[in-house]
Structure 1
């Protein structure tokens, strides 16, 4: 039986890091994937993240949607990056929330 793990975090190494949370958020899902789990990470796509600097296949942009934020419809979408067969990252791209120079601004 393959365990399916959804790991939701505000920061994850190597994409966004301010402290130990990013280290755990990068290492634990990788270890679970190595152990045979099917792992998905969900994390914000901050404005400072440049996926071109990493040696991954290009990120797949998924369907755009809207969410109501304080009475205003805001667009968002997911970017999918496959790290390996059982380990993927889904970035939540929503500029009003995450297009900023740091994780906790």
Structure 2
């Protein structure tokens, strides 16, 4: 079971917990503002863009090539950007903090 901390654009902190699925599914199922997941998690829209806290970057790993390509088109992208649809929930993600980018 992983606890994941989300910080919305409005600065609201939400701690959510899950054992499986994607981080995007966790956020959408719990109505995290700013994470829409319009494409359903197939890495084609960037409506689930988050910024990983720098201290948690090693836990999430870097984005894959397809994810990097999608992030290139997002004005809010940073060196710590990830698409939450591409992050699978696992024990390794326990305790990470993600800031909603959009």
Rg comparison, structure with higher value: 1
Higher relative contact order (CA 8 A, sep 6+): 2
TM-score, normalised with respect to structure 2? 0.27
Higher helix share: 2
Larger strand proportion of the pair: 1
TM-score of the two chains, using structure 1 as the length reference: 0.27
